[in-house]
C-alpha cells in the first residue's frame, strides 16, 4: 500500500519550519528532490567506515568501496531495463552526459550534417549542439510544438533528411510536462540511420522507462532529481557505439597503457570516467534507486497523477492564470489523435507551469515563499521555449511522491494571497490591460 504519511517520515527536511512558523511545503521537485534518510546515512556510512579510492588498491577498504561503487551500474541498468551494465557511465549530471555525447559523437560529423532537437529542450540539450555547430559547421533543426504543447510529429518527418545524423530529444519537458513518443521518434530517425539521444532528467524519476524497447541509442538522467545526491549523472548507451567514440577527458582510470609516445584507452565504461569519481554519492545513488524501487515507480506515477489533477482542478478558480501544461491543454482543446497519448501517458503529470499577465513570476514566488511554499520562478533553462510561449519567465510547481493534497491546498491558498497582494484577486481591473 502507498502510504504517503509513512513515506514522509523518511524525509527529515519535510518537518522543517520556514520563517520560524511555517512548515515547509516543497514544490520545486523538478529542480531537485529531497533525500530520504537512508541516502544521507549511506554517505555518512561510506566516509565513516570504508572511505578509500576505488579500482587502485588491494587493501580491504579499497575493495569494499570498489564493489559498492560498481554494483550501482547493475542497479541503474535494472532500473531502466538496459541490456548491458557495462554501458552505464557515471558523470556529474545529465548536463555533462549531454556534453560528453555532443563532443564525442561530434568528432565524426562534418560540415552540413544535421542535428535535430526540439523547441521544448532544456539548455543542456541545446548549448552543447551550438558549441558543436560552431566547431564543425553543422546544421541544427528544431522540431516545433503544437498549440497543445506537444511535438509536431508531421513536421519532424519533413525535418529528417539523409544529412540527419543525430536526433536528441527530451523524454519529458521540464516546463510543459509533455512526454514525447521516443519510440516513434526513434523509428523515424532510424530511416536515415541517425543516432537517437534521450534526455530523461525529468522522466526517470516519475515514470517507468524501458530503454531496451525505446529504439534509442543513448539516455541520460540525474541522481539529484530522483532522491539521490547532487553531483551524479548517468549516461547509458549502446556499448558498440561507446566503444567507437573517442574519450571525453584524459587522465587516470580511462587508460589501459601510457608510454612516452602514446596511450591506449580502457574498456567501456571506465574509458569515460577519468580521475577519481564521486564515490560516496554514486553509492548513495544506488541506495536511492533501491528506495524508489521499493516504493514502486508505477505507484509513484499514479500518486503524482492524482496530485497533479487535483492541483489543476484547484487552479481553475484563477481567471487570469495562464497554465502551460500538456494535459490541461489537451483537456481544453479535446483529446485529438496525438501520438504522445499512448507513449506519453505521463504527459502533464508532476509539474504545472503558469503565469499571470501582470504579476511577475519572481514576485509570485517571493510571496508564496513567505508562507513556507517553495516553487520555481524563471525561464527554467528553456529560454527558446519561453520565447515560443510569448513570455520571459513563468512559475512552476512540481510534485513528488512525498507531497500531499493538503500541501496543494496550502499552495493554492497562498497563491491566492499573492495575487490579492497585487490587487488582482478579483481580476476586475485586469480586463482593462488585457488584449481583446
| Sign of CA pseudo-dihedral 389, 393, 399, 405 | negative
- CA–CA gap between residue 342 and residue 21 (Å, rounded): 45
Residues 120 and 173 sit within 8 Å (Cβ to Cβ): yes
What DSSP state is assigned to residue 314? H
Relative orientation angle of helices 297-314 and 279-295, to the nearest 10 degrees: 80
Q: Which residues contact 290 (CB under 8 A, 6 or more apart)?
A: 75
Residue the block writes with cell 514566488: 365
Distance between start and end Cα atoms, the chain: 51
Residues 226 and 288 sit within 8 Å (Cβ to Cβ): yes
Catalytic choice (38, 331, 381, 427): 381
Residues 145 and 120 sit within 8 Å (Cβ to Cβ): yes
SS3 call for 331: helix
Neighbours of 17 (CB within 10 A): 10
Residue 329, H or E segment? helix 326-333
**Residue among 65, 84, 156, 68 nearest 117 (CA):** 156
SS3 call for 175: coil
**Residue among 182, 193, 212, 249 nearest 84 (CA):** 212
Check whether the bond before 195 is cis (ω within 30° of 0): no
- CA–CA gap between residue 118 and residue 388 (Å, rounded): 12
Residue 395 annotated in active site: no
Across 120-133, b (16+ Cβ under 10 Å) vs e yields bbbbbbbbbbeebb
C-alpha cell at 343: 507513449
The secondary structure of 103-130 as a DSSP string is: HHHHTT--TT-EEEEETT--GGGTHHHH
Give the helix, strand, coil percentages of the chain, each rounded to 5: 45, 15, 40
Residues 195 and 68 sit within 8 Å (Cβ to Cβ): no
C-alpha cell at 154: 508531421
Residues carrying an active site annotation? 381
Amino acid at each position: 500500500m502507498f502510504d504517503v504519511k509513512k513515506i514522509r517520515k523518511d524525509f527529515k527536511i519535510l518537518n522543517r519550519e520556514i520563517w520560524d512558523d511555517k512548515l515547509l511545503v516543497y514544490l520545486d521537485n523538478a529542480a531537485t528532490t529531497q533525500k530520504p534518510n537512508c541516502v544521507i546515512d549511506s554517505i555518512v556510512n561510506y566516509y565513516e567506515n570504508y572511505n578509500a579510492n576505488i579500482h587502485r588498491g588491494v587493501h580491504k577498504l579499497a575493495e569494499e568501496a570498489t564493489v559498492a561503487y560498481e554494483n550501482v551500474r547493475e542497479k541503474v541498468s535494472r532500473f531502466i531495463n538496459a541490456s548491458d551494465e557495462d554501458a552505464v557511465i557515471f558523470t556529474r549530471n545529465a548536463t555533462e552526459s549531454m556534453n560528453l555525447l555532443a563532443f564525442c559523437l561530434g568528432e565524426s560529423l562534418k560540415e552540413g550534417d544535421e542535428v535535430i532537437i526540439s523547441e521544448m529542450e532544456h539548455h543542456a540539450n541545446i548549448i552543447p549542439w551550438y558549441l558543436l555547430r560552431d566547431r564543425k559547421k553543422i546544421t541544427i533543426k528544431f522540431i516545433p510544438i503544437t498549440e497543445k504543447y506537444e511535438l509536431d510529429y508531421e513536421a519532424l518527418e519533413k525535418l529528417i533528411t539523409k544529412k540527419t545524423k543525430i536526433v536528441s530529444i527530451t523524454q519529458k519537458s521540464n516546463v510543459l510536462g509533455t512526454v514525447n513518443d521516443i519510440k516513434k521518434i526513434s523509428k523515424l530517425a532510424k530511416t536515415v540511420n541517425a543516432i537517437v539521444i534521450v534526455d530523461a532528467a525529468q522522466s526517470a524519476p516519475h515514470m517507468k522507462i524501458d530503454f531496451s524497447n525505446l529504439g534509442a541509442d543513448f539516455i541520460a538522467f540525474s541522481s539529484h532529481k530522483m532522491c539521490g545526491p547532487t553531483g551524479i549523472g548517468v549516461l547509458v548507451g549502446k556499448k558498440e557505439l561507446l566503444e567507437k567514440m573517442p574519450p571525453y577527458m584524459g587522465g587516470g582510470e580511462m587508460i589501459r597503457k601510457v608510454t612516452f609516445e602514446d596511450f591506449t584507452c580502457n574498456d567501456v565504461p571506465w574509458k569515460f570516467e577519468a580521475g577519481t569519481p564521486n564515490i560516496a554519492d554514486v553509492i548513495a545513488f544506488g541506495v536511492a534507486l533501491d528506495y524508489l524501487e521499493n516504493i514502486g515507480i508505477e505507484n509513484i506515477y499514479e500518486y503524482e497523477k492524482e496530485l497533479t489533477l487535483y492541483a489543476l482542478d484547484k487552479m481553475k478558480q484563477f481567471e487570469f492564470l495562464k497554465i502551460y501544461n500538456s494535459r490541461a491543454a489537451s483537456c481544453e482543446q479535446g483529446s485529438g489523435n496525438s501520438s504522445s497519448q499512448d507513449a506519453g501517458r505521463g504527459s502533464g503529470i508532476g509539474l504545472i507551469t503558469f503565469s499571470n499577465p501582470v504579476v511577475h513570476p519572481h514576485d509570485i514566488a517571493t510571496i508564496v515563499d513567505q508562507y513556507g511554499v517553495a516553487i520555481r520562478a524563471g525561464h527554467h533553462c528553456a529560454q527558446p521555449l519561453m520565447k515560443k510561449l510569448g513570455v520571459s519567465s513563468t512559475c512552476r510547481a512540481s510534485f513528488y511522491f512525498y507531497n500531499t493534497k493538503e500541501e496543494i491546498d496550502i499552495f493554492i491558498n497562498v497563491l491566492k494571497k499573492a495575487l490579492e497582494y497585487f490587487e488582482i484577486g478579483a481580476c476586475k481591473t485586469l480586463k482593462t490591460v488585457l488584449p481583446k
